[in-house]
Amino acid sequence: MSYEIDSISLEDAKLDLKELARSCQVSHEWIIEHVQCGVLLNEKFDEDPEKWIFDSYSFIRTKKILAVERDFECNPELAGLVADMTEEIALLRNRLKKLEINEE
């Protein structure tokens, strides 16, 4: 039985380690490794991973990083960099659209 989350409320999502791992179909160790590498952040950093809380941004970022790692067979740091650049490009495109609308 699959527990992948297809739809999630961006405002309300709060996932613990187990929920994030299950919904993204990765191991707990995968999540822990990526938090320790600094490519995934949690709202409540604690020494005990069982106390970590992740928001919807972390869920979306986990899916992006996972896709990059699978598609390009790269390490977590490179996948995190690709996710950062993708997010920055989206932000810049949104800014350009707003500037274009304001000029009209």
Examine residue 86 and state whether it is found in any structural domain, yes or no: yes
Q: Name the residue with higher pLDDT: 40 or 101.
A: 40
Which residue in 50, 54, 25 sits closest to 39, CA to CA? 54
Q: Give the domain extent around 21.
A: 14-103
Mean pLDDT to the nearest integer, 21-34: 95
Q: Is residue 66 part of a domain?
A: yes
Give the confidence band of 9 by pLDDT, cuts at 50, 70, 90. Answer: low
> Is residue 1 in some structural domain?
no
DSSP-assigned letters across all residues of 20-41: HHHHHT--HHHHHHHHHHTSS-
pLDDT at 4 over 80: no
Phi/psi at 53 (nearest 5 deg)?
-125, 130
Q: Which residues contact 68 (CB under 8 A, 6 or more apart)?
A: 74, 78, 79, 82, 83
Domain presence at residue 60:
yes
**101 has a pLDDT exceeding 70:** yes
CATH of the domain at 73: 1.10.1660.10
How many separate domains does the chain show?
1
Residue 5 within a domain: no
Residue 3 lies in a domain: no
User: Quick check: 93 pLDDT over 60?
Assistant: yes
Q: Could you give the percent of the chain with pLDDT greater than 90?
A: 65
| Whole-prediction pTM | 0.78
Roughly what angle, to the nearest 10 degrees, separates helices 28-37 and 17-24? 110
